[in-house]
Chains A and B, each alone.
Chain A
Amino acid sequence: MRSYYLLTLAQLRIFLRNRQVLFWTLAFPIVLMVMLGSFLGNGNGVSITAAVVDQDKSEQSKNLVKEIEKNEAVSLEKSSNEKDVLSQLKQGDLTLVVTIPKGYGENLSAGNKADPFKLPVYYNETNMAMSQVGLQLVNNAVDTISKKSVNYEPVVVTESKGVEALNLRYIDFLVPGIVAMMIMSNNMNGVAGQISSWRERGILRRMQGTTLKASTFIAAQITARFMLNGLQAMIVLAVAWAAFGIEVRGSWLTVIAFVTLGTLAFMAIGFIIAGIAKTPESAGPIAGFLSFPMLFLGGVFFPIRDMPEFLQPFVQILPIAHLSHALRETMNVGASFLDLGMEALILGGWLIGAFIVASFTFKWE
């Protein structure tokens, strides 16, 4: 028992003293998360950058600008130089340019119904989809003003209702994936690299010369890695919470249960790699060979349903797919452990299968 405790402590000390490894294994997921989260995090909403050139500067023109600004999807830039903003539009920095020419206010006060005032709106034809949305928004604003000026009363209105109960952003999707990725790389790549290097350097052989039992050694490895993973997952979740307001909607126990399952399953795969790899140098590429397809196909960054049809059966057996899916369901939707029985079963299957294979391929020297 004492050797189990001291071995766990020794492994944790080695982790903590190896500052570089500690920093980079943590920095990579956090930087990746913050980067992808900032670029794509609000991916659900459409945002239009438009510029307005107010040449009229009347009460009415200011009202129009306010009306356009009301829409949250538009970020409006005010400018007095039409040429400037038009060249920005050509470069694609702006989606729309609205010019309010002189005489707009007067024309509106005059109330000439037969000849409505023409408001020029410039858009970039190469970006049609966005321009259409923008034009629609400006039309709405203009429409509102027109209707107000004639005291128009609508007889039919639409009421739009979202059917999705939760408003999920890309970052909500991403964070559980990042946690799953971290568990995979720390354990699979970490165990493969460390164990094969300890074997090469004779560290394992020296311990084999004592009365230490292999099971104690492995139990301590698992405990230490689980503690480290838990800590790293907490840090990533804390950063996600602070930077993007991500919360765990489901039970923390379920999250911990899947972190544990994932840790064990990927450690077992790591032990297999350590058994197969003849040198520590070859452990890295072998682990990379397994981890790269899992990163891109396993639902870490992109939803699995976006994958091509022929890849689906393959993707569905990857352990990371089930780990990231289970974490996502717990964190985003608040699924309970029982809802995720299938995922737990498949991860458990990987764990048992991999440990059986590992026990055959594992060598102390």
Chain B
Amino acid sequence: METQDEIIKVQKIVKRYGDFTAVDGSEFSVHNGEVFGLLGPNGAGKTTTLEMLVGLRKPDEGTAIVGGFDITKELDKVKEVIGVQLQSTTLFELLTVDEILHLYGSFYREHISIPELIDDMLLTEKKNSRIKGLSGGQKQRLAIALALVHDPQIIFLDEPTTGLDPQARRTLWDIILRLKERGKTVVLTTHYMDEAHVLCDRIAIMDQGKLIALDTPSELVRNLQSDSAVEFKFNDEVDIALSEIDGVKQVGSQKDIHVLYTDDLQKTLTSLIAIASEKELKLVDLQTRTATLEDVFIHMTGRRLREG
């Protein structure tokens, strides 16, 4: 991997808020032209990491090289090569799509053709509409258009699809994949598993300020060493050794939900049902599925990505 172009190199970056350490010495590299995902639950430090990389927050320790420039020393140069879409940004609501793109374009030395950008982001019909009247998906596409207005090499997207309906999410996925085709490097944060799986070439999993895993999505799942997951609840609280059920490689239990990881789904299921009948326990919400990134996360942290 070292032979690949490292367009971003994060070096032991730390951010503290009082006693709380939001980002605790993360270290990773992003390769030129890939879609890189920062995955983790709320409060894991994804957004803080991203905001340090784009210069909105100053790291307390460590630094990062973004597009060849040090974020602590050459921030002005960094800002020229990056485009940013921030979480839940509001814009000047009384301006039109066309006006705000020209405005943001003027903040840079050069900008690309605004009409083409509007077409690319599927906003042609809304060109002269005020931002106030746009739908959530349209606003998010506009936010991405603003990030692209000066044709940056690296694009940072902070939870680009949070709060969007499924169709709007898919439209955005297409846009992000097209950016990749054009050779852009995309760094995005998300807490959606499916999104990370579809979009990202590599994923860094963060939890409580620490980077706990970094690999391709399929490699991360493969490292679970189990193909399938069985998930269920008992209607009563019981005390049985789930790991002794046939074929179970790992147990991931949290609260009253139990997850068994196995390579032999049939064997495990048969055994589970046998034990349940024997002890007169009632199985609730039983389901089986292929192991996903969600399971990787549960396995690594003992918690779910999106809790309560």
Contacts and interface: CB of A to CB of B under 8 A. Distances in A.
A208 B57 CA distance: 11
Interface string A200-231: 01110111111110000000000000000000
Nearest to A17: B94
Contacts of B92: 10, 14, 203
A202 B108 contact: no
B95 interface: yes
A44 interface: no
Contact of B90 (A3, A203, A210): A203
A202 B90 contact: yes
Given A211-B79, A211-B80, A211-B108, A206 B91 contact: yes
Contacts of A210: 79, 84, 104, 107-108
B201 interface: no
A57 to B, nearest CB: 71
Interface string A4-34: 0111001001100110000000000000000
Contacts of B86: 202, 205-206, 209
A209 B53 CA distance: 11
Residue of A14, A17, A209, A365 with highest tally of chain B CB at under 10 A: A209
A209 B106 contact: no
B89 A202 contact: yes
A205 B107 contact: no
Given A2-B106, A210-B108, A211-B108, A201 B99 contact: no
Given A202-B89, A209-B54, A209-B86, A13 B99 contact: yes
A212 B80 CA distance: 10
Contacts, number: 63
A211 B92 CA distance: 18
A46 B91 CA distance: 58
Contact of B91 (A3, A17, A18, A203): A203
A14 B94 contact: yes
Contact of B56 (A203, A209, A212): A209
A2 B107 CA distance: 8
| Interface bracket on B | 20 to 34
B258 interface: no
A209 B55 contact: yes
A212 B107 CA distance: 5
Contacts of A14: 92, 94-95
A201 B92 CA distance: 10
Contact of B79 (A7, A202, A205, A209): A209
B270 interface: no
Interface string B98-115: 011011101111000000
Contacts of B130: 17
Nearest to A18: B94
Interface in A157-204: 201-203
A39 B221 CA distance: 82
A173 B86 CA distance: 52
16 contacts: A2-B106, A6-B103, A10-B92, A10-B99, A13-B94, A14-B95, A202-B88, A205-B56, A206-B91, A206-B146, A208-B56, A209-B55, A209-B79, A210-B107, A211-B76, A365-B56
Interface of B: 54-56, 76, 79-80, 84, 86, 88-92, 94-95, 99-100, 102-104, 106-109, 130, 146
Interface of A: 2-3, 5-7, 10, 13-14, 17-18, 201-203, 205-212, 365
Given A14-B95, A203-B91, A206-B146, 5 more contacts: A3-B106, A7-B103, A10-B92, A14-B92, A209-B86
